[in-house]
Structure formats: structure tokens, C-alpha cells
Structure 1
Amino acid sequence: MEKSNEIANRFREVILNGTWIANTNFQDQLSNVTWQQALTKVSSLNTIALLAFHINYYIAGVLHVFKGGNLEIRDKYSFDMPEITSEKDWNTLKESLFQNAEAFAKYVEQMSDEKLNSVFVDPKYGTYRRNIEALIEHSYYHLGQVSLIKKMILEKTS
């Protein structure tokens, strides 16, 4: 369980509470972003809201597998965000991301080394560990984008 705790903590670092790798995390970056800022388009970049949705889409999809469900997520749908028209909608998305992230981390903490090294859904997807680590890396990639887009938006409005 030592490995699973380590991986779960790495996952929490990028989404919920860490500062070791990027000196920030999704929760910190999104905490003071208004819904209008979250939807602000900067050039051809994705919006902050769309990136938050995208990461949550994958977390929720893998979490569904952890709970015994089928792998139902598809890359082609990972940016199909429902319309956000209010602060309430934006807060709902953020809450979903953070709740799914904590539930995800709790499942990871409970995984034995055997489970971490077992096939995730189909051999073509590799192991549970590989998929969890890929989700961590994918989240850091998009966290960097969120951070830069947020700076660009704040510079434009100040």
C-alpha cells in the first residue's frame, strides 16, 4: 500500500493541494477565477473552463472503472463541455472536479501493488499504475496551460 499512497498523494498534489512540482495545483488556480474569466478565449487556446472540464472528464471516466463500471470515456468527447452560463455552473464544474479527484485518490490509496500492476480494462491500455500516472502527467500538462491562460487573462484585464 506504500506505493498506492505515494501515487494517490502525487495525484492530490496536481489537482487538490500540492505545490512541490508546479508550485500550484488546479484547486489553487481555479479558486479565484470567475465564470467569465473561465470562459474567456485567448487566441486559439482552450478556455480555462474547457481544460477543467477535460481533466474532470478523464478523472470521472477512470473513477467509473475503479467502481466496477466499463470504460466509457472517449477522447473525441473529452472537450464536449456543457454550456456554462453562470457562476453557479462554473462552481458546479469545479466542485465536480475536486470531488471526483478526492474519490479517485481514495480508490488509488486502497490499491494493492498487485492491482496497480494488473491490466487496466484491456491489455492495450497497460496497467492501472500506468493509467494513473498518465492521468497525473496529463493533469500537469493542462495545469501549465491553465496557469498561463489565467496570467494572460489577468494581464489583459488589469
Structure 2
Amino acid sequence: MDIEFASVKARSTDGIANPLFHERTMPAPLAEAGMTQEAWTALLDAGNKAVVFQWGCVTICCFTCFAHHKDIKPRAKKFVEELNSGSVAGAALPAGIVARYQMQNQNFSVQASGGLSGGGSTDTYHAILFFKEDAAPPSVQMIDRKLTGDW
């Protein structure tokens, strides 16, 4: 079973604004593996460019189907491939660490008092997952997953 070493998630604050890697603190396992703060900042800055929404006819017309998030996948995949090959300027991964991209969704539901009405929302995250090379899934583009938890 694949065990992620560390991760970072980009998200949109309102579903329309571009997703960003808001959490700027480097995960401790990456620091322990030898990643510098400068390399981490360069990785996040380059990652922010990869997850920008590309608004167009399809993404606007299919907004409720999350087309604006699905449109990010090819660019995020390319970014991770470049990160793994060492071609992202200033963002070298520590030796023995590889990155994978995954789109993650989390559904939130709210029930009004008495259960007569309610609502919900879906948050979408664009995650870069870090693995030790010998424990990484074989594909850069992993299967999307729904996050679990009691929210």
C-alpha cells in the first residue's frame, strides 16, 4: 500500500477564485529529508501557476460539473512530472522523494434544525503528495479520491 510521506493542498477560497497553496509551512518530513525553505517556496509558487483556472466556454458552461477544477489536471500533472525531473527552477526535491498529483473532493452537508431543510457544498483540493521513491504509486496522475472525515 502506498503511504504518502507529506502533502500540500491548493484550494479556492470561494470556488470561483483561483486555487492557491495557502499553507506555506513546509511539512516536517520534507525538511528532515533535506528540502530547503527556498526550494519549498519555489515549489509552491510554481504550483500556484499550474493550478490557475483556465476559464473558457466549456469551464463556464459546465461550472456546476466542476469543469473548472477538472481543467487543472493536465497542467498539474505536467507540473509534477517537471518537479520529479528536476526542471522546476529552484524547486529541487530531496533525493529519494517523488511527487504525485491528485484531485480530492470533500462534501459538506448541513441539516437545519428539525431536518426540514439543509444544504451542502463540495470543496475541491489539488494535492501534491510526496512519497519515498520506493513507496510511490506508479502513476503521476493518481485516481481522484473523496476525502472522509466527520466535518
- TM superposition score normalised by structure 1: 0.28
User: Which has more radius of gyration?
Assistant: 2
Larger fraction in helix: 1
- TM superposition score normalised by structure 2: 0.29
Larger fraction in strand: 2
